[in-house]
Amino acid sequence: MLTLPHRTLGSTGIDVSCLGLGTVKIGRNEGVKYPEKFTIPDDSAVRNLLRQAQELGINFIDTAPAYGSSEERLGKLMQRRQEWVICTKTGEEFSGGISGFDFSAQHTRHSIERSLKRLRTDYLDLVLVHSDGNDQHVIEHTDCLDTLMRCREQGLIRAVGFSGKTVDGGLLAANLCDLVMVSYNPQHTAEVDVIDHAHKLHKGVLIKKAFDSGHAIVGQNNTEDAVTQNMRFVFSRPGVSAIIAGTINPKHLQQNVAAATRALSTTSA
Ligand code: NAP
């Protein structure tokens, strides 16, 4: 039987399953751009989803302070924390139904301390700058990245990354960080140069929105085929370390693991 492969994230030495679980939908259902309305799952459903993910070979989970109660709920419901690679972020806050951004050193430090508390852990595996889209400005004119690097030196964070929206910012981030998070799917290839550049530098590459936030799947005649096609497309790009796919549906989680495993068995990237 095929099993979900793992890869080392760039030069970090951190081993992640090639499919990670995105957790926006366990913490927030306002101000999101998914194709269908949804109810945030209760504690028992989240506990089961996390257990199922582990049983399917997933060791990698992505969250953020901007995902509502996601961090807090993971801290409460996650079993055997040391078996997980946790990726969280800093910079974006979501409150009162709107996003705000703060990339100052003081806020970055506060955000890290708060994530440690919410996630009930004494270290964070990966912390990404959650950019507002002014990527170059955030990198060159704020203290966010420097503060994260200091936290890495202090052992609070194992690796530092950048989740951006532009090519120029992504290229710069790949030069400076351990990893980048990039939007990439057949409908959105604008940031592919960031993947290629990070690959050349042996940096980690995480893919967000591999299903175009569900828009590439929902409404298709055969959703399973659409999942498989998108996975094959993303994994065939050399340099991709892992896809972070968001789901709160156990059936979809199973489909995604099967599709990722199949896609990786036939691509050599
Ligand atoms: P995505 O993974 O492209 O798509 C998620 C959507 O697809 C969900 O609505 C999900 O619905 C649906 N879906 C997943 N598997 C499915 C399947 N097998 N069949 C049918 N529908 C399926 O988009 P995303 O959630 O926007 O992005 C993924 C993750 O990346 C997020 O959860 C988050 O962790 C991260 N992210 C980061 C940033 C950033 O700025 N750093 C931005 C966006 C996202 P169901 O729940 O019903 O399965």
pLDDT at res. 267? 76
52, part of any domain:
yes
Residues 16-70: pLDDT tens digits? 999 999 999 999 999 999 999 999 999 999 999 999 999 999 999 999 999 999 9
Nearest-atom index, ligand 1, CA of 36 = 9
User: Could you tell me if residue 104 is inside a domain?
Assistant: no
Q: What is the mean pLDDT of residues 188-216?
A: 97
The per-residue pLDDT of the chain, averaged, comes to 96
CA 192 to chain CA mean position, Å: 17
Query: Mean pLDDT throughout 188-196?
Result: 98
DSSP H helical segments within the chain, as ranges?
43-55, 70-77, 105-118, 135-141, 144-153, 167-176, 192-200, 223-235, 250-266
**Measured distance CA(169)–CA(75) in Å, rounded:** 31
In the prediction, which pLDDT does 268 show?
Answer: 58
Which pLDDT does position 77 carry in this prediction? Answer: 98
Give me ligand 1 centre to Cα 265, in Å. Answer: 23
What's the gap in Å between 129 CA and the centre of ligand 1? 19
96 in a structural domain = no
Nearest residue (by CA) to ligand 1, atom 39, is 163
Q: Best mutation site among 249, 256, 261 for ligand 1, i.e. most ligand atoms within 8 A of its Cβ? A: 249
- CA distance readout (Å), 136 to 87, 129, 240: 22, 12, 22
CB-facing half-sphere around the CA of 175: CA atoms within 13 A: 8
Q: How confident is the model at residue 219 (pLDDT cuts 50, 70, 90)?
A: confident
The predicted structure's pLDDT at residue 166: 98
What per-residue confidence (pLDDT) applies to 246? 97
Number of other CB atoms surrounding residue 149 within 10 Å? 15
What whole-number distance in Å separates Cα of residue 109 and Cα of residue 144? 9
Domain membership of residue 134 (yes or no) is no
Look at residue 112 and tell me if it is in a domain. no
- Cα of 185 vs centre of ligand 1, distance in Å, is 12
In a domain, 143, yes or no: no
Q: Are 111 and 104 in contact (CB under 8 A)?
A: no
Asked if residue 2 has pLDDT above 80, the reply is no
Question: Which residue lies with its CA nearest to atom 46 of ligand 1?
Answer: 247
Confirm or reject: Cβ of 252 under 6 Å from ligand 1.
yes
Q: What is the mean pLDDT of residues 6-19?
A: 97
pLDDT at 269: 59
Q: What is the pTM of this model?
A: 0.97
User: Which residue type sits at 189?
Assistant: T
* Residues identified as active-site: 67
N residues, the chain? 269
Q: Which atom of ligand 1 is nearest to the CA of 249?
A: 48
What's the domain count of the chain? 1
For the chain, the first-to-last Cα distance in angstroms comes to: 21
Average pLDDT over residues 92-107: 96
249, part of any domain: yes
Q: What is the pLDDT of residues 118-176, one digit of tens each?
A: 999 999 999 999 999 999 999 999 999 999 999 999 999 999 999 999 999 999 999 99
Contact 95, 128 (CB under 8 A): no
Residue 86, amino acid: I
For residue 35, the enclosing domain spans 6-83+161-261
Cα of 229 from ligand 1 centre, angstroms: 15
* Range 191-224 burial, b when 16+ CB lie within 10 A, else e: beebbbbbbeeebbbbbbbbbbbbebbeeeeebe
Residue among 85, 88, 99, 217 to mutate when testing ligand 1 (max atoms within 8 A of CB): 217
Q: What is the CATH number of the domain that holds 77?
A: 3.20.20.100
Judge whether 235 lies within some domain: yes
